Structure 1
Amino acid sequence: MSMGTGIIFGMVVAIITALMLVPPVTQSRSGHLRNRFGPEFDAVASQYNGNAKATERELNARVSRFGNLRIQGLTPQMREQYAAQWAGLQERFVDCPTVAVAKANQLLCQLAVAVGFPAESHERQLEALSVHHPYRVDGCRQLHLAAHKHKTATGAAEVEEMRQAMVAGRLLFEELLRARPDEGPRKAGAHRRSPRRFRSVPAQRTGGRTRTIG
């Protein structure tokens, strides 16, 4: 083998080797983001029609913008006040689900702002919450959607959808109540059960039947 042929062969081998190393690096990056964001990774991916690079860019941008967000803890008295308001809305859901969902959506947003999340818009707040509470942030999305979708509702399907939104929203609400000052983004799977469970709606009347929420 001549020297020129050897050089060309070596270059080809180097290129092939480099190409073989690209997929694992990409998969490693996606795997890290998937572990960090959990179901939120899939939610963002669906917005980009499964485009992995676009999903990674979006999630990395969120981390850059909100990763160092300073979380402010609530006083015990404030926690009790927020918890009591939520419990009252759950009870109100029995007779007036649309009003309860609308006010629960407002209360969840207020609590998020109180502990340090953005107040400019729902979209910006949602992005920030997705960085620090990726496994619960969909509760904010569901509650916001239900509050704007169901101005009035009498059918069982609509009431059930709102009930599910209230349950999902409560999970995020509880996490925000437990937030401590300067608490960083929650680790994947690091969900502790609340030491104090908030009261759930006693019974939901739907078409002459009763159903329990939560």
Structure 2
Amino acid sequence: MSTGTIIGVIVVVLVVAAAAVLLRYFLQRKRLQEKFGPEYERTVAQSDNRMAAERALVEREREHSRLELRPLAPGTRDTYARNWTRIQEQFVDAPDGAVAQADRLVTDLMAERGYPTEGYESQASLLSVEHARTLDNYREAHTISERHDRGEASTEDLRTAMVHYRTLFEDLLANGADRDGDRRDRAEGAR
């Protein structure tokens, strides 16, 4: 082969390799945007650059994959649902207590499912992998709860917090049954 042919082949190989790397990068970006939704945009906005934010999201996925998430037994799901209904009913007479109980119930449900419950930011980070669409609700409820602790939240704010807690609660409750059942079905189908 002539030197010109060898150089031409090398150039073509380098161009194809570069195109493959770019394609992989853009496909990963699209996957992260679809998976994390509004959390993707939030993470990018808080970061110095998009690539660093995307690496952080991929790291969240890695950490999340190490969790031993558990499905909820139907009886356990029913108990959580009844407890939520009881807390909502208490809101009329004692909004402060109901919001505190809602926060505790959501935290208990996270623990029951296998999520760590220490450290709010760590919690939110790991929840974002499967609950990105409802995570903003949790963040808002948490912010209102903190404002309430400082005496800065109205009853209407507390009502809003309850609505936000309920959104994540329902997502955790439903996700605990549906996703894990799907996982078992896939595992059994692979045998």
What is the TM-score normalised by the length of structure 1? 0.67
Query: Cα distance, 1:32 vs. partner?
Result: 0.9
Partner of residue 188, structure 2 = none
1:39 matched to 2:38: yes
Q: How many residues align?
A: 179
1:180 matched to 2:138: no
State the alpha-carbon separation in 2 of the partners of residues 101 and 113 from structure 1: 18
Query: Counterpart amino acid of 1:76?
Result: P
State the alpha-carbon separation in 2 of the partners of residues 92 and 28 from structure 1: 48
Which digits, 9 at most, give the CA deviation of each residue in 1:30-67, with x for residues without a partner?
Answer: 11111111111112122215x21111111110111112
Which digits, 9 at most, give the CA deviation of each residue in 1:70-104, with x for residues without a partner?
Answer: 22223333222222222222223234333322221
What are the ranges of 5 or more consecutive residues in structure 2 without an aligned counterpart? 184-191
State the alpha-carbon separation in 2 of the partners of residues 121 and 181 from structure 1: 27
State the alpha-carbon separation in 1 of the partners of residues 26 and 110 from structure 2: 33
Query: Cα distance, 1:185 vs. partner?
Result: 10
State the alpha-carbon separation in 2 of the partners of residues 137 and 70 from structure 1: 20
Partner of residue 96, structure 1 = 94
SS at match of 1:135: helix
SS at match of 2:132: coil
> For the aligned residues, what is the CA RMSD?
3.3
- Higher deviation after alignment, 105-114 or 117-126: 117-126
Q: Using a 3 Å threshold, how does the CA distance of structure 1 residues 11 and 104 change in structure 2: closer, same or farther?
A: same
Query: Cα distance, 1:23 vs. partner?
Result: 4.9
Q: Using a 3 Å threshold, how does the CA distance of structure 1 residues 10 and 167 change in structure 2: closer, same or farther?
A: same
State the alpha-carbon separation in 2 of the partners of residues 98 and 47 from structure 1: 32
State the alpha-carbon separation in 2 of the partners of residues 111 and 134 from structure 1: 17
Among all aligned residue pairs of Structure 1 and Structure 2, give the percentage whose two residues are the same amino acid: 34
Residue 170 (structure 1) aligned to one of 166, 172, 175: 166
1:145 matched to 2:152: no
State the alpha-carbon separation in 2 of the partners of residues 184 and 24 from structure 1: 34
Query: Counterpart amino acid of 1:46?
Result: A
Query: Cα distance, 1:135 vs. partner?
Result: 1.6
Which digits, 9 at most, give the CA deviation of each residue in 1:161-208, with x for residues without a partner?
Answer: 43333222212211222313982999xxxxxxxxxxxxxxxxxxxxxx
- Structure with greater helix share of residues: 2
Partner of residue 200, structure 1 = none
Q: Using a 3 Å threshold, how does the CA distance of structure 1 residues 13 and 63 change in structure 2: closer, same or farther?
A: same
The higher-RCO structure (CA 8 Å, 6+ apart) is 1
What is the TM-score normalised by the length of structure 2? 0.74
